[in-house]
Amino acid sequence: MLEPFYPKEMVESAYEIPYEHLYENGIRGVIFDIDNTLVCHGAPADKRALSLFAHFRKIGMKTCLLSNNKKPRVASFAAQVDSPYLYKGGKPSVKGYQKAMEIMGTSNIATIFVGDQLFTDIYGANRAGIYSYLVKPVNPKEEIQIVLKRYLEKPVLFFYHRRKQRRKT
C-alpha cells in the first residue's frame, strides 16, 4: 500500500551517491530536485553543486533539473550548474520526469532521480519507473507546507525502514 512512496535507496546526501559506479553500470542521466536536495531552499549553487555538475560533464553523464518552483529560481540555478531544466514540473505527475528523460535522451532504465520529498519527488519517479534516491533535506528549516508534509512522511518512512530490516533477516 505504501510501496509507491518508498525510495529505492535512502542516502544522507546527493553528494555521496556513487555516480561513477552508476555510469559504469549503464546509468546515463540524473534528474535532480533542487531545493533542499542540492542546496538550501532558494540558495544559489555552492561549490559542491558546481563541482558535482562539472564532474557529470567530465564523465559524460547527462543531467536535468526538475522542480515545482517558478522559472526565475530554477533557471538561475540551472545556469549556474549548466544543466537543462524544467520549472513548474508538476511533480508527482509522470509528465515532468518523461520530459526530463526526453531532454537528456535517456530511458527510465538508464536514469535515476534524486530528491528530498516522498510525496512529490519519490512518488513521481517511482510512477515513471525511474530508480529513486531519497536524500535528507539539506536544511531542516523549511516552509510550513513542507514541514506538514514531513510529518506525513514519518509513518511512511517508519514502514519503509521496517520492511528493509525484515528483508535483511
In this prediction the pTM is 0.91
Q: Quick one: pLDDT at residue 156?
A: 84
Examine the pLDDT at 144 and tell me if it is beyond 80: no
Over residues 12-62, the pLDDT tens digits come to 999 999 999 999 999 999 999 999 999 999 999 999 999 999 999 999 999
Examine the pLDDT at 145 and tell me if it is beyond 80: no
Whether a cis peptide bond, with omega within 30° of 0, leads into 137 is: no
Contacts of 159 (CB under 8 A, 6+ apart): 2
Written as one string, the DSSP assignment of 128-160 is TT-EEEEE--S-S---HHHHHHHHHHHHHHHHH
Cα–Cα dist 112/125, whole Å: 8
Written as one string, the DSSP assignment of 45-113 is P-HHHHHHHHHHHHHT-EEEEE-SS-HHHHHHHHHHHT--EESS--TTSHHHHHHHHHHHT--GGGEEE
pLDDT tier for residue 166 given thresholds of 50, 70 and 90 = confident
Over residues 79-105, the pLDDT tens digits come to 999 999 999 999 999 999 999 999 999
Q: Quick one: pLDDT at residue 161?
A: 83
Grid coordinates in use for 149?
A: 508534509
- Share the mean pLDDT of the chain: 93
Q: Quick one: pLDDT at residue 167?
A: 80
User: What number of other Cβ atoms are within 10 A of residue 83's Cβ?
Assistant: 22
Q: Quick one: pLDDT at residue 149?
A: 77
pLDDT tier for residue 169 given thresholds of 50, 70 and 90 = low
Full strand arrangement of the beta sheet holding 85-86: 9-11, 131-135, 111-115, 29-32, 62-66, 85-86
Examine the pLDDT at 1 and tell me if it is beyond 90: no
